[in-house]
């Protein structure tokens, strides 16, 4: 499934729903599940649907396998009903993408950890500093903790941050945790992944390197924004992660191209490491780190106001961000 969060405008305001892509439409999973329950004779289908398949992504992920199974049942029922089906009281089930706006698929992750898992990337960045790859990097997957409350979604504008002179993109794949666990083995870790999305770990490189010279961080150089989206694709729809091609375009020009299979530390290895004597939770977001050649730092090319950044990893899609001017007030 392609899971997404989207805003629906109404006369009394905008409300957020979770949906799944189905051909050229977006299915409201909560409403489709309510219709399924109504068709089975359930006397309170909306109330039961809200309990079993909530309409926000954080609550949905917290529901674990039962919520995911309900989503699959809802999508199957929507297919059976056809394009013009409605909810139990005539509510809309399917939306034309042009009538709604996608948000970040997981607007507020439980936490954000971003790894540096591609050897080509750490080799290139170490070389720029005149240093070898730290031998510790080969001992365990390392990460920093980012700001999980500054997530932006597809087609959102990014306000120019911190008067930086070196604003950078980073081309990454991320996984979303779908189960609670601790001390998870690499062998079992794949069962804790709810899905995958594209991640752009925006970086103010001059700020980042200034603060990391003090042997802490990164912090302000990263925490202003991280983009994810446009959807979360469940594992059964990406049977071969290694084959995924990763592309970054700036104003339509390809700046970066890589392959996820070049990663050194896998997501199961990351999960095993993070969960050692520490609990992971549904909605935790783990970024892979930048694929080799997947950022301006490696190319000595940086973003400027007005640039349109597109990260593409199929079948997830394209994550697009426009860089706003420094004096633009809102992202």
Whole-number Å distance between alpha carbons of 6 and 189: 29
Q: What is the pLDDT along the chain (331 residues), one digit of tens a residue?
A: 999 999 998 888 888 999 999 988 999 999 999 999 999 999 999 999 999 999 899 999 999 999 999 999 999 999 999 877 899 999 999 999 999 999 999 999 999 999 999 999 999 999 888 889 999 999 999 999 999 999 999 999 999 999 999 999 999 999 999 999 999 999 999 999 999 999 999 999 999 999 999 988 899 999 999 999 999 999 999 999 999 999 999 999 999 999 999 999 999 999 999 999 999 999 999 999 999 999 999 999 999 999 999 999 999 999 999 999 887 764 4
Q: Which residues contact 10 (CB under 8 A, 6 or more apart)?
A: none
- What's the pTM value of the predicted model, to 2 decimals? 0.96
pLDDT attached to residue 329: 60
- The DSSP line for 292-305 is TT-BHHHHT----T
- Per the listing, tokens 């997947």 go with 294
- Domains of the chain, each with CATH number or no CATH: 2-102 (2.30.30), 111-323 (3.90.850.10)
Nearest Cα neighbor of 63 from 98, 18, 20 is 18
Helices 45-52 & 64-81, crossing angle to 10 degrees? 130
Among residues 303, 302, 298, the alpha carbon closest in space to that of 128 is found at: 298
Task: Report d(CA 286, CA 177) in Å as an integer.
Answer: 8
Predicted pLDDT at 127: 86
Nearest to 218 by CA among 284, 151, 147, 163: 147
Q: Which of 152, 137, 126 is nearest to 292 (CA)?
A: 126
Q: What is the DSSP letter of 160?
A: P
What is the pLDDT at residue 70?
Answer: 97
Q: For residues 259 and 150, is the Cβ–Cβ distance under 8 A?
A: no
Q: How far apart are CA 97 and CA 62, in angstroms?
A: 26
């Amino acid at each position: 499934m392609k899971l997404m969060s989207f805003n629906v405008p109404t006369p009394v305001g905008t409300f957020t729903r979770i949906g799944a892509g189905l051909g050229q439409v977006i299915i409201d999973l909560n409403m489709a599940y309510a219709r399924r329950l109504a068709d089975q004779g359930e006397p309170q289908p909306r109330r039961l649907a809200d309990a079993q398949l909530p309409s926000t992504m954080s609550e949905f992920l917290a529901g674990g396998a039962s919520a995911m199974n309900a989503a699959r049942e809802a999508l199957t029922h929507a297919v059976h009903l056809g394009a013009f089906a409605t909810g139990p009281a005539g509510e809309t089930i399917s939306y034309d993408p042009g009538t709604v706006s996608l948000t970040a698929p997981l607007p507020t992750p439980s936490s954000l950890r971003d790894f540096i898992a591609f050897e080509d990337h750490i080799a290139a960045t170490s070389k720029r500093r005149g240093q070898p790859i730290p031998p510790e990097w080969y001992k365990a997957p390392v990460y920093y903790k980012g700001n999980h409350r500054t997530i932006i979604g597809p087609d959102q504008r990014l306000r120019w941050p911190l008067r930086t002179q070196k604003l950078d993109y980073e081309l990454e794949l991320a996984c979303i945790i779908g189960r609670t666990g601790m001390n998870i083995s690499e062998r079992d870790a794949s069962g804790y992944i709810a899905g995958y999305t594209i991640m752009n770990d925006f970086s103010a490189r001059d700020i980042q390197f200034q603060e990391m010279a003090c042997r802490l961080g990164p912090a302000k150089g990263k925490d202003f924004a991280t983009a994810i989206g446009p959807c979360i694709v469940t594992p059964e729809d990406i049977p071969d992660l290694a084959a995924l091609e990763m592309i970054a375009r700036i104003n339509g020009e390809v700046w970066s191209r890589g392959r996820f299979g070049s990663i050194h530390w896998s997501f199961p290895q990351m999960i095993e490491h993070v969960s050692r004597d520490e609990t992971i939770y549904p909605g935790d977001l783990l970024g892979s780190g930048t694929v080799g050649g997947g950022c301006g730092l490696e190319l000595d090319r940086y973003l400027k106001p007005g640039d349109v950044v597109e990260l593409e990893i199929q079948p997830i899609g394209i994550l697009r961000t426009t860089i706003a001017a420094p004096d633009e007030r809102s992202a």
